[in-house]
Amino acid sequence: MGKLSREVRGAKASRLILCALLFVLLTACVAGRSVTVYAAFAIETNSAKAVEIEAKHLSYDKVLGRYIAQGDVVIRQEGMELSADKVVLDNRSRVFEAWGNVLMHDRGDYLACRYLKFNLDTKTGHIRQGRIFIKDKHFFITGSQIEKISSDEYQAQDATLTSCDAAKAAWMVSCKSVHVTKDGYGVTDKAVFRVKDIPIMYLPKAYFPVKTSRQSGFLTPSVGYGQEDGFMTKNAFFWAIDEAHDATFTMETYGHRGVRIGGEYRYVLNEKAKGEINGSFLHDRLVDDNEDYPQTESDRWSLGARHFQDFSHDAQLKAHLNFVSDNFFLDDFPNTFSKTFIDELDDVDYETDNELRSNIILAKSWPKQQLNLTVEGLYYDSLILPHNDRVLQVLPQVTLTSLEQPLGKTPLFWNLDSTYVNFWRETGDRGQRIDLHPRVKYPFLLGPLEITPSAGVRETFYLTDWEDEGSDTESRELIDAGLEIKTVMEKVFATQGSVADRFLHTIEPTVTYLYIPDVNQDDLPDFDYIDRIYEQNNITYGLVSRLVARYLKQDGSYDYHQYLKAELKQSYNLINEPNGYQFDDEDDFSNVWGKLEYWSLKYFYGKLETELDPNDTETKTFSTLLSFHDTRRHRVSVEYRYERDRVEDFIAHGYLPISPTMDIYGSARYSMLEKIMWESIYGFNYHAQCWGVDLSVKEDRRPYDLQFRVLLTLNGLGTIGQQ
């Protein structure tokens, strides 16, 4: 009985040792994975981990100290499986060997070979006729001889590299040898790039990433051509400083301009704080004595920074800084603060703003008291003026807001809007302003009507530093009164034979009255809209209508979807001579504003918006948008914009599949008023299983520029081209 017990224990020990060694071998051989010897022995001595071994014959040679498993050997543990014809472990030399149809699977990765040999103590090994598949990168590496040099480094002879599944790969790199280094990169020697096994390019040395984790090294270079910039190349080096910090250094060459160098530094301080800093510099030959670049120096640069941080006690800090050397920098380098080319499809109607804005915001809230405090600094960098000395800056603005809340035990509600602003500029009027605006409301119901009278007082103080008249103080006192009357009329419709079981249709009419007396404000500075609050004595009436569907979900609860929303609004003036922007040409009726929106359940969105001038029965503004999209980024949209005597544009863009492997995309903005195509992008993208190519053309007017782009993507290696 004792002898049998010892044999059983010996068989169990052999199974554990074999499984442990195979597990170590698998993780060591698959690129970028390793487990230490100590972890393997922990498996051997800890029987809590489930182990399965199957073989026709399993024995232990006491004389030679070898464990032998033969005949359809299968070993399984925690998602790993190894199969072979024969497995032998020499317990004295700590060498493990497997022969015949060796196949190892581990969470999608696999190693197939005819023979393998592995030393547990030195963590080195040898593989014959091996093929490795790395799932994370969908990458295949083969070699006639593969030497495992250390836990994360190996050398393969007569190797091939590809990400193609087909037996005859669309592309591959064949090489005399490949050395996978400990930093996660493969280095090939005497490599040949092949397409359908046809030699295309000889590469004495080539590098490719093996690990999916961040690794320092050079990124894939890119090339391109622009009519204004000339031939372009871009090279970049990525530095993985540590898990919380990294940086990218770039060098871009432009045939007509020069060399632009740049860098980005990204950091994560903790789970609630992160940011980045980026900048670039270029000595631009193209701007020298060029009338298209008035008052532009040859030394051109950009600087940007982002920082986001959440503090305890409902406080938050946001910083967004953007600076450029001249007014034309963003025209020449539009991706300075955004890097994705395809985003231009969404921004094709974008026209450069008059200022480049930077701001820093510190916000604090007190939810119980319903108070919000915001401290903000705003800096505007003019993209029109030759100098920035007359641009008005907001440094800082402090806003304290109290949300609407009950006034003690009365039926009244109150709220407060208050600001302090310091307006500064190097040349021109500047000063400080405090604006206090408390209001009270008394909402009540009268039958189906919800009636809300309101009243407020406004006190505004100024300390102004006039450019030519010195400093003085001013103040302004205002009152305002209003009345809002609204109601909701609704009807529910039951449906049959539809996914929705109920439809709700609402009509929500609203009438508001606003009164603000006429106050002389001629002696006040004019920094922004708060400094000119015009007399108001008008009635605004309108309605909103909605169509909402109800859907029964599988768990018995309900989901709701709004299909339609229609809005209509107009104001009537009670003042003999109105001022401000709401009423034109001293007419009593304002423009009629209307908006109609439709959302389908999944794919379609439509919008119609217009302003009609009732006095001359003409359309002042009109726009319509039709958009179709799905979950795969396939989308088509067309838009028409009209503003009387100013703008009449037709805009269209889309990204459409025409086959399982081919997409076409394009975008255009055409001015019907000026009979000119302002800008356009069109191209196609072909994407096979392991490679893809993207060709596109972009054309801009004023100034005219024509750009071509070709992107060749080899899955697993990277992308070649100008992005």
Q: Which residue has the higher pLDDT, 687 or 350?
A: 687
Q: What per-residue confidence (pLDDT) applies to 347? A: 36
Percent with pLDDT over 70 in the chain: 85
What's the CA gap between 699 and 334, in Å, rounded? 14
pTM, two decimal places: 0.68
- pLDDT of res. 352: 45
The pLDDT value recorded for residue 723 is 46
Give pLDDT tens digits for 603-618.
Answer: 999 999 999 988 888 8
Burial of 296-320, coded b for 16+ CB within 10 Å and e otherwise, reads bebebbbbbbbbebeeeeeeebbbb
Residue 368 β-bridge partners: none
Write out pLDDT tens, residues 107-154.
777 889 999 887 867 778 888 999 888 777 788 889 999 888 876 677
The more confident residue out of 11 and 276 is: 276
State the pLDDT at residue 146: 87
What are the tens digits of pLDDT across the range 11-44?
444 443 344 344 334 433 333 333 322 223 233 4
> What average pLDDT score do residues 280-288 get?
93
pLDDT tens figures, 583-605: 666 678 889 999 999 999 889 99
Using CA atoms, how far residue 549 sits from 72, 365, 405, 552, in Å, is: 61, 36, 33, 10
- Segment 278-292 shows an average pLDDT of 90
User: How confident is the prediction for the chain on average, in pLDDT?
Assistant: 83
Task: Tell me the pLDDT band of 3, cut-offs 50, 70 and 90.
Answer: very low
Pick the closest to residue 586 from 597, 578, 575, 574 (CA basis). Answer: 578
pLDDT at 343 over 50: no
| pLDDT tens digit sequence for 642-686 | 998 889 999 999 998 888 889 999 999 999 988 888 889 999 999
Percent of the chain predicted with pLDDT > 90: 45
Spell out the domain ranges in the chain.
2-214, 216-391
3-state secondary structure 568-632: EEEEEECCCCCCCCCCCCCCCECCEEEEEEEECCCCEEEEEEEEEECCCCEEEEEEEEEEEECCC
Compare 578 and 688 and report the one with higher pLDDT.
688
Spell out the CATH class of 2-214: mainly beta
CA separation (Å) from 719 to 327, 545, 634, 693, 711? 33, 50, 22, 9, 6
